[in-house]
Amino acid sequence: MAREQGDQWREQPSAHGGGDDWQRDVLRELGGGSGSGRPGTDARPGEPALRLVHPAPPQPAATASEAASDTGGDASRPPDAPGGTASPALMSGAGPADEPAPERPSPHAAPAPVHDPRLPAAPAPESSPTLDPRLLLALKRPPHGDSVTRRTGRALRKLTSSVAQDVAEQTRIARELQQPVTTGRVVAVTSIRGGVGKSTVSALLGRTLNHYRHDPVLTLEADAALGTLPVRMGAEAVRWTLADLAPILHPSMQLTDVTGYLVPVSDGGWLLPASRGQVGPPLDMVSYRKVTLALRRYFAVSVVDCETLPGEVARTAMDTAHARVVVAPATAEGVGATRQVLDWLARLPHSALATTVVALVSNTPDTLLDDKTAAGHLKEAGVTVVAVPYDRHLAGGGPIRTDLLAHTTRQAALRLAAEVMERAVRVR
């Protein structure tokens, strides 16, 4: 798989220099390989190996399926995704996961990473709540995205609509969202400025893919400027961040090892935040590249909530992702600035515009810009535009509850996710 990724980046060089050199450097740092993705192969003489400086987080109690593996069963292997999707173990290139570990290490095996006693051990980070408990008490009951009148009218229309047509449409969308992938796909979400709904769109994409796909899905935050993605995803507390994982990830880690550092999402999937709700240093490009390259071996789809353009990490994420979503506010200045971003994407060496979708978000019920005119202006650049209408539930902030989303919002999220997956799978 690493060879396939290397071929991909050789055909699509980065616009920021380095081409595919950074991928080989990251693989070498992670496991000592120059491009094979296997530790110990093609290592340069005298190059130091990466050591684990953080203690591994405590793992949950063994389940019945894990206990079966102790008796010689096959339950320790992560289940293969349906439809030909590669399992996390195969995507990681770590070899068969059902081979029982030997009781004693082989004398020819490489020694396990050992912490140097002369160096101080880095303590595990403290868990931090995503919202102050006093704010949680002040939160009111979240409203439904649709009013009672609108929900009643839609229920009446269902009585006279064609059920077969609705089922066929839902089946078509589900088939597009469940397209099999052989390697992890990365979807980058960004915008021209903050406060336009970038994290909201990322959360909608992550939750939609979590619901429809049966393989691991990761929603990753690459914006350390006190982003709202953990709150929107419903995380009560965060601990490990993207920057914390950069020196920890190793090719020998299994999916169960990696998920110990992530936040499980209530309705499925995993979350990796960029901060613990505190002002800190900005995320560096090297850490982002290391983590995304390593984690895409374990997750079929990774939705990345990037910083706003023209930040360095955002430009790198947009340049190296398999599919891109540019969130544009439904305002005259927002649409105009987004069109400039699309013109920049069109100048990238590997035609990033062909794998870009624009989410035109309305953050107020009374917009001064006609949606059709705005979408037509953006479509002139050669992209698909998906309109995300105003939603009372989303506008209220706080955790997103899919059962409270407006019907039009759910349909927009489904279409956006389907458009993104169609483009992400297209890239080889």
Where do the structural domains in the chain lie, given as residue ranges?
A: 148-426
Query: What average pLDDT is seen over the chain?
Result: 76
Work out the average pLDDT over 54-65.
Answer: 46
Q: What is the pLDDT of residues 288-303, one digit of tens each?
A: 999 999 999 999 999 9
Residue pLDDT, tens place only, 174-206:
888 999 998 899 999 999 988 899 999 999 999
Q: What is the CA radius of gyration of the chain?
A: 22
- Among 182, 211, 200, which Cα is nearest to 418's? 211
Residue 24 has a pLDDT of: 55
CA distance 402 to 144: 10
Asked whether the CA dihedral 209, 211, 217, 221 is positive or negative, the reply is positive
**Which CATH code fits 148-426?**
3.40.50.300
- Quote the pLDDT of residue 421: 95
Max Cα-Cα span within the chain: 75
pLDDT above 90: residue 59: no
Stronger pLDDT, 306 or 61, i.e. the higher one: 306
Q: What is the pLDDT of residues 251-274, one digit of tens each?
A: 899 999 999 999 999 888 999 999
pLDDT, position 60:
47
φ and ψ of 285, to 5 deg: -65, -35
Higher pLDDT: 153 or 350? It is 153
Q: Which has the minimum average pLDDT: 31-40, 54-63, 145-154, 345-354? A: 31-40
pTM recorded for the entire structure: 0.70
Assign 394 a pLDDT band (cuts: 50, 70, 90).
very high
The confidence band for 25, taking pLDDT boundaries of 50, 70 and 90, is: low
* CB within 8 Å of 213: residues ≥ 6 apart: 81, 177, 178, 300, 301
For 412, residues 6+ apart whose C-beta sits below 8 A from its C-beta are: 386, 387, 388, 389
pLDDT score of 222: 92
